[in-house]
Amino acid sequence: MAYGTSYGVLMVVLTVAQPLVNAASQTVNQDLSNILNELWKLDKNRLSPGTDYTIDLQGKAGYVTQGSTYARDYAAKPLFSSVDEDKLNSITTYARFIKLLDNYEMATGTAEMVTTEEVTENNEFLDAILETEVMKRAHTYLVGKGQARASLKQFKTDLYEIWFRVYHRDRNGGADSSGFEHVFVGESKFGREIMGLHNWVQYYLQEKHKHLDYKGYKASYNDLPDSDDHVLNTQFSWHGLIKPVGSAFVGVSPEFEVAIFTILFLTSTTKSSTAVVNLDEYQLELVVYRHGRSIGTAYPKLLSSNKRHL
């Protein structure tokens, strides 16, 4: 049921193709901003740009419509010039996260066959992130809001349902998707479109193994990215399919992403939930779509960086 390399799919920054939003017009969710900034400060496993990894932004990508099969390449070299893989593999949450990336079929409509070994890997990943200060604080916040059970064992059961329950995304065939697969690994729709793939480790590994080709960054004329930014908009191709534009975190730990999207998922009830937050030097719109009791998709949409929204 694996595809690509043993590392799976490495994606860091992609969302659906949407125009950048005027940050000045957004209403900020201050309560959510406060807890996310707490988690940001607690994220001791976040990697440092220029030290633990280096990115090369190169050119600004052009406009491409969803479903296109061609995009002009404005980046001759990979986005990631280097990543300290020894450090990645030495941090338990990253090491267990990477083991999950080859557990999925790329195409929706193809049923996932979840093995006993994969269930064990899923549980070991959850065990690892629940030991971090990031997830402990996320749990106490949710308990305080009445949106999570106080028992860590029960909270882990709920996290498994949210992220790893396999469900039908395509009406044909068997259960073919999960929140984790969509958000962190990536999928293809009808062999024509990339869906999900919002994780930087997946992005890097897929780029390293020549499955993913970075086409350039996406940005408004007055909000150009820097090589030390922790959130980016990019354009890329993956297994020959084009992702016109998307945004994702870069360098953050897997527990940080699980924590923030779980918080938004559990503190809202609508099928589509969005919240504008000020996080560190960025203004983001966080987006979560529900699929029953599980996450359908989740991603950050970069509105402004380098404190330009202040």
Per the DSSP assignment, residues forming a β-bridge with 140 are none
Half-sphere exposure of 137 (CA within 13 A, CB side): 16
Inter-residue contact 268 to 162 (CB < 8 Å): no
243 is catalytic: yes
Inter-residue contact 247 to 236 (CB < 8 Å): no
139 is catalytic: no
198 is catalytic: yes
State the Cα–Cα distance between residues 227 and 49, nearest whole angstrom: 7
Query: Beta-carbon neighbour count of residue 154 at 10 Å?
Result: 11
Which of these is catalytic: 139, 156, 198, 291? 198
Per the DSSP assignment, residues forming a β-bridge with 288 are 273, 298
Which of these is catalytic: 156, 243, 291, 301? 243
Q: Is 247 exposed, middle or buried (0-12, 13-18, 19+ CB in 10 A)?
A: buried
CA 278-289-14 angle, to 5 degrees, is: 65
Q: How far is CA 124 from CA 46, 94, 97, in A?
A: 20, 12, 9
Which of these is catalytic: 99, 156, 182, 291? 182
Inter-residue contact 46 to 280 (CB < 8 Å): no
State the Cα–Cα distance between residues 109 and 91, nearest whole angstrom: 34
Inter-residue contact 111 to 175 (CB < 8 Å): yes
User: Which are the catalytic amino acids?
Assistant: 182, 198, 243
